[in-house]
């Protein structure tokens, strides 16, 4: 019926002023002011280099899991991840990397038990809320570049696409951070507050997500040759200044982010 | 604190009966009775064979989009998809296949405009609800093997991982079904009720999800040689009986499904 009415107006040649064209998401991002952007701290920028020459950039989240992030920084500097591999790719779930060997413990005491950083005090954590709750929490939104949720006095990072977590065994194991995973499918939000989440992938995630799925239980690769070699993992802070890649996020508390969010939630 | 108490009990050697071990999800599925399963109708079973010898099985959903599903069956029988390709893989979004050529219309009148089957009457559609609403609809659950949502008098399939939709241009185009996509990332539920959804992938989805991501705009492959050849698409009903693969779903209204759902929503 609407189509008929529109056709009729066109046929009559009615010269109405066209409605203002809404900005695209790209327009909104491009128009954001410099002070609405914030650069990822080089101490929190983890760079995973793979055997095929590709690189995956990850923003670490010390505000959510300070002890795990500190341990991951130490593991990087102890070269734990170098010569490790991607050894698990489970469809609609996770890609996982590290040494992937239950008999190998991180060196220099870095494999020890850490506090269960599965959530934290909501107080002191900036959280720009979405205008609605979701299925898993009464308050959801963004804290810096990270999706976050809160329920009264507690807050936590939300298990979304590209979020990086710490693989662990059964409780009371909390994981050392020596084996990490990233979400490559539907957000497994049922894991929220059960695992330490330590960051999110910023760039190059396609070099992890497009990998062959593992055919072993839980998506582990069954043959050693399926593993994707990691050649080097570094913190940007440890690279010469001129070699550090720079990533910025649009502050969730900015006016441009609010405008972007409104657009992103409407099909176009 | 709980850990301390448990340790103290163990130290005292208290011989309590161990709590009953809850069944695993596998136990629940394996124990389901034969009449709790339902076989996919061969008329609704679409088989996509790829150039590397792999096969993806899709259950079509005539209850949600009868005109589009009928057109897809006709397109399959007109060999529209044979010698087509996967030509778009956008990370955290969709894989898309068909002829992928704007200048090529489906043959034999099969490219004509179809009704906008973006939702349907809730009446007459079985829908086993989850015990909660979600962010996008007051009622969500399963209708046969499909995730579904409802809002008062209308119901629709939900854009979840592995759901198959009909690519289309801007409104009023509804798509013919000659170009299809499947969701390979976070559920783009903002598209619900804006696109005709026609089925879900049942098996072999890893042969689509693990593909190289396209580097063109919207994840389209930029080079023809990146396209993944489709060698043949058939309906199981058109194969000799002995060559038809059989898939069954656990009826959402069954007791075993309810037990499975309870387990699936709790981390283990």
In the prediction, which pLDDT does B83 show?
83
In the prediction, which pLDDT does B124 show?
97
Which residues neighbour A218 within 8 Å (Cβ) at sequence distance 6 or greater? A88, A90
In the prediction, which pLDDT does A102 show?
78
Q: B153, B150, B147, B155: which is closest to B183 by C-alpha?
A: B147
Query: Do the Cβ atoms of B161 and A133 come within 8 Å?
Result: no
In the prediction, which pLDDT does B21 show?
81
Which ipTM value was assigned to this complex?
A: 0.87
Query: In B, which residues are within 8 Å of A3 by CB distance?
Result: 172
Question: If pLDDT is split at 50, 70 and 90, which confidence band does A266 have?
Answer: low
pLDDT digits (tens, 9 = 90+) for B106-152: 877 888 889 999 999 999 999 999 999 998 999 999 999 999 999 99
In the prediction, which pLDDT does B6 show?
32
The CA-based dihedral angle spanning residues B185, B187, B193, B195, taken in that order and rounded to the nearest 10 degrees: 10
Question: If pLDDT is split at 50, 70 and 90, which confidence band does A170 have?
Answer: confident
In the prediction, which pLDDT does B203 show?
98
Residue that has been written with the tokens 């582990």 in this structure:
A220
CA distances from A194 to A7, A172, A219, B5 (A): 56, 11, 20, 21
pLDDT digits (tens, 9 = 90+) for A74-98: 999 999 999 899 999 999 999 999 9
pLDDT digits (tens, 9 = 90+) for B174-204: 999 999 999 999 999 999 999 999 999 999 9
Question: If pLDDT is split at 50, 70 and 90, which confidence band does B9 have?
Answer: very low
Evaluate if residue B268 carries a pLDDT over 80. Answer: no
Q: What's the mean pLDDT when you consider all of chain A?
A: 91
Evaluate if residue A216 carries a pLDDT over 90. Answer: yes
In the prediction, which pLDDT does B248 show?
97
Extended strands (E) in B99-176: 120-121, 128-129, 139-143, 146-151, 154-157, 163-166
Nearest-angstrom CA–CA distance, B219 and B181:
12
3-state per-residue secondary structure call for chain A: CHHHHHHHHHHHCCCCCCCCCCCCHHHHHHHCCHHHEEECCHHHEEEEEECCCCEEEEEECCCCCHHHHHHHHHHHHCCCCCCCEEEEEECCCEEEEECCCCCCCCCCCCCCCCCCCCCEECCCCCCEECCCCCCCCCEEEEECCEEEEEECCEEEECCCCCEEEECCCCCCCCCCCCCEEEECCCCCHHHCCCCCEEEEEEECCHHHHCCCCCCCHHHECCCHHHCEEEEEEEEHHHCCHHHCCCCEEECCCCHHHHHHHHHHCCCC
Nearest-angstrom CA–CA distance, B56 and A20:
44
Q: Does A54 touch chain B (CB under 8 A)?
A: no
pLDDT digits (tens, 9 = 90+) for A127-158: 999 999 998 999 999 999 999 999 999 999 99
Query: Do the Cβ atoms of B92 and A161 come within 8 Å?
Result: yes
**H or E, element range at B73:** helix B66-77
In the prediction, which pLDDT does A2 show?
31
Q: Which residue of B has its CA nearest to A191?
A: B267
Q: Going by DSSP bridges, is the β-strand pair A154-157/B146-151 parallel, antiparallel, or unpaired?
A: unpaired
C-alpha R_g of chain A: 22
In the prediction, which pLDDT does B113 show?
80
Query: In B, which residues are within 8 Å of A172 by CB distance?
Result: 3
Mean pLDDT within B19-25: 84
Q: Does B161 touch chain A (CB under 8 A)?
A: yes
pLDDT digits (tens, 9 = 90+) for A113-127: 899 999 999 999 999
Instruction: Output the pTM of the full model.
Output: 0.89
Query: How many CB atoms are located within 10 Å of the residue A109 CB?
Result: 11
Evaluate if residue B10 carries a pLDDT over 70. Answer: no
Segment among A8-17, A31-40, B69-78, B200-209 with least mean pLDDT: A8-17
Query: Do the Cβ atoms of A186 and B160 come within 8 Å?
Result: yes
Which of the residues B24, B92, B169 would you substitute to probe the A interface, choosing the one with the greatest number of A C-beta atoms within 10 Å? B92
Comparing B15 with A182, the larger pLDDT belongs to A182
Nearest-angstrom CA–CA distance, B231 and B108:
21
**Percent of chain B predicted with pLDDT > 70:** 92
Question: If pLDDT is split at 50, 70 and 90, which confidence band does A16 have?
Answer: low
Q: Does A185 touch chain B (CB under 8 A)?
A: yes
Evaluate if residue A1 carries a pLDDT over 70. Answer: no
Q: A98, A112, A103: which is closest to A220 by C-alpha?
A: A98
Q: Does A160 touch chain B (CB under 8 A)?
A: yes
Alpha carbon of A238: minimum distance to chain B alpha carbons (Å):
30
Q: Which residue of A has its CA nearest to B162?
A: A92
pLDDT digits (tens, 9 = 90+) for A27-74: 999 999 999 999 999 999 999 999 999 999 999 999 999 999 999 999
Q: Which residues of B70-87 are buried (b: 16+ CB within 10 A; e: fewer)?
A: ebbbbbbeeebbeebbbb
Running DSSP on this structure, what letter comes out for residue B144? T
Query: Do the Cβ atoms of B172 and A91 come within 8 Å?
Result: no
Q: A227, A217, A202: which is closest to A99 by C-alpha?
A: A227
Beta-bridge partner residues of A181: A96, A165
Hey, what long-range contacts does B81-86 have (CB within 8 A, 24 or more apart)? Answer: B81/B48, B81/B230, B81/B233, B82/B230, B82/B231, B82/B232, B82/B233, B83/B229, B83/B230, B83/B231, B84/B230, B84/B233, B85/B227, B85/B228, B85/B229, B85/B230, B86/B50, B86/B208, B86/B211, B86/B227, B86/B228, B86/B230
For A132, the closest of B135, B185, B187 (CB atoms) is: B135
In the prediction, which pLDDT does A265 show?
66
Task: Report residue A169 as tokens.
Answer: 């065994």
Question: If pLDDT is split at 50, 70 and 90, which confidence band does A176 have?
Answer: very high
Mean pLDDT within B40-47: 98
């Amino acid at each position: 019926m609407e189509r008929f009415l529109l056709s009729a107006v066109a046929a009559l040649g009615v010269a109405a002023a066209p409605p203002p064209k809404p900005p695209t998401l790209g327009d909104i991002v491009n128009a954001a002011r410099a002070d609405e952007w914030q650069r990822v701290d080089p101490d929190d920028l983890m760079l995973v280099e793979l055997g095929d020459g590709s690189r995956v950039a990850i923003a670490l989240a010390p505000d959510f899991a300070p002890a795990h992030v500190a341990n991951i920084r130490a593991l990087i500097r102890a070269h734990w991840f170098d010569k490790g591999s991607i050894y698990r790719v489970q469809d609609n779930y996770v890609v996982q990397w590290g040494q992937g060997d239950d008999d190998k413990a991180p060196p220099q005491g870095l494999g020890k038990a850490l506090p269960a950083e599965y959530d934290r005090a909501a107080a002191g954590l900036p959280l720009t809320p979405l205008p609605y709750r979701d299925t898993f929490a009464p308050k959801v939104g963004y804290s810096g570049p990270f999706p976050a949720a809160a329920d009264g006095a507690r807050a936590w990072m939300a298990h979304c696409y590209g979020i990086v977590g710490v693989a662990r065994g059964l409780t009371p194991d909390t994981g050392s951070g020596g084996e990490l995973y990233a979400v490559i499918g539907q957000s497994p939000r049922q894991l929220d507050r059960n695992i330490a989440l330590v960051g999110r992938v910023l760039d190059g995630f396609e070099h992890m997500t497009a990998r062959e799925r593992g055919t072993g239980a839980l998506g582990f690769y069954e043959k050693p040759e399926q593993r994707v070699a990691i050649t080097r993992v570094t913190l940007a802070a440890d690279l010469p200044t001129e070699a550090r890649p720079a990533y910025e996020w649009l502050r969730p508390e900015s006016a441009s982010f609010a405008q972007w969010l409104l657009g992103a939630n409407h099909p176009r």
